Structure 1
Amino acid sequence: MSTPIRVGLVDDQALFRAGIRMLVSSQPDLEFVGEAGNGVEGIAMAAEHRPDVILMDIRMPVMDGIESTRAILAAAEARGGKAPRIVVLTTFDLDEAATRAIRGGASGFLLKDADPEFLLSAIRTVHSGTAVIAAAATRELFEHFDSQQGAGTEPEAFTHLTSREREIFLLAARGLSNAEIAGNEFLSEATVKTHISRVLGKLGLRDRVQLVVYAYENRLTD
């Protein structure tokens, strides 16, 4: 049997934490390893329990989820260990704070009233690192908050992509899965996965969420 995915939670609402703890603990492939009531406590929890995935509320007392996310990822980088995947939790569909959290290194975001099955699926998805959580919503955020910006200058790193890599980059930035890209480009999923890995490497990006951020920050989807 494979090792369970270790899950941590940072949220200032005790009742919400209790519900998530019970939900996660009910799954045989997930293990609830720790919780915290604010961002500072979240940093300590992450250091002590080393969860694979952290569900992180954005708005909390003492330290918000954005700063806590940055600190947790910086600490993981400093010690040379594997960084947790962090999914920020928000109450609002269009939440600029969620955008900032993703730019700060979070691997996606969820609405706090998401269906339990969707939340569980999201934990597994982000742990696998193979897909963007709520990709359409992420794109909507960037379109909403960056709509006043003019066209950006194409980054130098982007010019190093081949024409095929650019095509796949743009499809991934639109939120298409590997299977959907493979169908569009008449390629195998394995070939698409290889291209995505090369694109991430050339652009210095960690995952597909950062790819979406990169695309919209640099206005490459216009």
Structure 2
Amino acid sequence: MLRVLLGDHQLSLVEALAEAIAAESDLEVVGTAARADDVLRVVGSRPVDVAVLGSDTGPADLASLGAALREVRPGLALIALADHEDIVALVRAVRAGFRGWVHKEAGVQELVDVVRAVPRGETRIPPVELTRVLDHLLEAGAAATRSGPLDELTSRELEVLRALSGGVTRQEVADELDISVNTVRTHMRRILAKLGVHTSLEAVVIARRAGFR
């Protein structure tokens, strides 16, 4: 059973989605909210697996809210419910941990499919938007590579980044380098900080631009 939180300033939409999602045998709506502070309160006080959040859940912007939620509950799956196409907002949301992006005019079944998929580790962003996100990240990676950011990494950090660029998991990196997964995470946090990026995907883009495979 996946426990779902719905947040959006349009309460009528939230209530309609809650009713539709509650009809699914494997989904349970554990909370609804119209504002960011209410979303944070629910996530901080109840077990929540998936948060579906409108792009106008004020007063916080979507990326800031997502980052705050992941601080409270690191494993929370984040899905954006968007009523407009804004590549900058989408990129910021992806950097904050959102792995689902559903337009408000999409059918309920599409949203339900995304709610089930994202907790499984899938990314569900419409192809056109995903292409634009990747283009944006590649451009950012190319600009960063031209400034030589990899020069700031230690030899061990380069080993970790090189291994991840080969498409392996963090556990496989830990096994290959004979270190713990927690140590890999620590190295990744330092790598992201030095490269000035927010996700492992962006770091890998920079590494591959630099010739890592």
TM-score normalised by length of structure 2: 0.70
Single out whichever of 64-73 and 23-32 deviates more from structure 2: 64-73
Q: Does 1:55 align with 2:52?
A: yes
Question: What is the RMSD computed on CA atoms of the aligned residues?
Answer: 3.1
Shift of 1:154: 6.2
Q: Quick check: which one's helix share is greater?
A: 2
The letter for the 2-side match of 1:109 is W
Deviations along 1:10-49, one digit per CA (max 9) or x if unpaired, are 1000121012101210100000110110111111111122
Cα contact 2:5–2:29 (8 A) shared by 1: yes
Cα contact 1:154–1:220 (8 A) shared by 2: no
Distance 1:109 1:40, change over 3 A: same
Secondary structure of the structure 1 residue equivalent to 2:208? coil
**Equivalents in 1 of 2:61, 2:160: separation in Å?**
37
Q: Which residue of 2 aligns with 1:178?
A: none
Of residues 57, 68, 87, the one that matches 1:95 is: 87
**Which has more radius of gyration?**
2
Secondary structure of the structure 1 residue equivalent to 2:119? helix
Unaligned runs of 5+ in 1: 77-81, 169-194
The letter for the 2-side match of 1:92 is H
The letter for the 2-side match of 1:6 is R
Unaligned runs of 5+ in 2: 175-180, 190-197
Distance 1:159 1:108, change over 3 A: farther
Q: Which residue of 1 aligns with 2:106?
A: 114
Secondary structure of the structure 1 residue equivalent to 2:24? coil
**Would you say how many aligned residue pairs link Structure 1 and Structure 2?**
182
Shift of 1:158: 5.1
**Equivalents in 1 of 2:19, 2:208: separation in Å?**
42
Distance 1:143 1:162, change over 3 A: closer
Matches within 5 A, 1:50-89: 50-76=47-73, 83-89=75-81
Distance 1:162 1:104, change over 3 A: closer
Cα contact 1:151–1:219 (8 A) shared by 2: no
**Equivalents in 1 of 2:199, 2:100: separation in Å?**
9
TM-score normalised by length of structure 1: 0.67
Shift of 1:151: 5.2
Cα contact 2:55–2:61 (8 A) shared by 1: yes
Distance 1:122 1:16, change over 3 A: same
Of residues 26, 30, 33, the one that matches 1:33 is: 30
